[in-house]
Amino acid sequence: MIDTFSYQNKSEIIEERIRWARQRAKESESPDMHGYAIILEVLYNLARERAPEVLRQLEKVVERTDAFTYDIQKLSAIRDYIRDHISPSEQENTRKQKIQYLKEGLEKLLDWDVEDYLYDLYKSIRSGDLIPLDFDFYLERVRDWAYFTGHRLDWETKIRYARKEAAYDRLSSHIKCLLSNPEGYMQHLKSGDLEKFVRELCKS
């Protein structure tokens, strides 16, 4: 098997995916493909800077994605976690532990049980089949945004925007928890009390 890393801080697989997405975005003028190309590049550059040790695991995650809203938001959540929680200035032992958890979490993100759970959760909130207890918070945020930006939104559009925001935040919370505490996340997924774990015990 050919090693896809010409050096530690590089992934030919991800770079090729970025080139492909850029070209497809130009040809199709698709907003989703454009967004996919952007998040791939931003995430890749951030991972090279903050956590090059996880590029192999990140490759596998990227290979399973495409220019779909769910995949774009999943990659965005990974980006947010690395940006907010992995710092080169941290104490060496702390950073090593976080990097190890991040590696394990990215590997678990490829587990079909995890993938199915996250996708079903995201889809249920987007479709309105699942209404989060804090949904009014997102609805109010959309109302405030529309008011201060001068956008006139009908009720259905406000609901749709609020669902999108709520779905991303819930997905992001789960991915943050998985990447910071993969063992605990998997234990609670199997025991059936994952939502409580993410909500109450996986905040830091």
Which amino acid is it at 21?
Answer: A
In this prediction, residue 152 carries a pLDDT of 85
Distance, CA of 179 to chain centre: 10
In this prediction, residue 8 carries a pLDDT of 66
- The tokens for 193 are 């009390």
> Which pTM was predicted?
0.90
In this prediction, residue 203 carries a pLDDT of 62
Q: Which residues 6+ apart lie within 8 Å of 138 measured at CB?
A: 132, 162, 163, 165, 166, 169
Q: At what angle do helices 55-63 and 69-85 cross, to 10 degrees?
A: 160
Alpha helices, DSSP H, located in 64-181? 69-85, 92-108, 112-127, 135-149, 155-180
Per-residue pLDDT of the chain (204 residues; tens, 9 = 90+): 334 444 468 999 999 999 999 999 999 988 999 999 999 999 999 999 999 999 999 999 999 999 999 999 999 999 999 999 999 888 999 999 999 999 999 999 999 999 999 999 999 999 999 999 899 999 999 988 887 888 888 899 999 999 999 999 999 999 999 999 999 999 999 999 999 999 887 765
* CA gap 28, 34 in Å, rounded: 9
92, 40 contact by CB (below 8 A) = no
Closest-CA residue to 121 (of 54, 80, 178) = 178
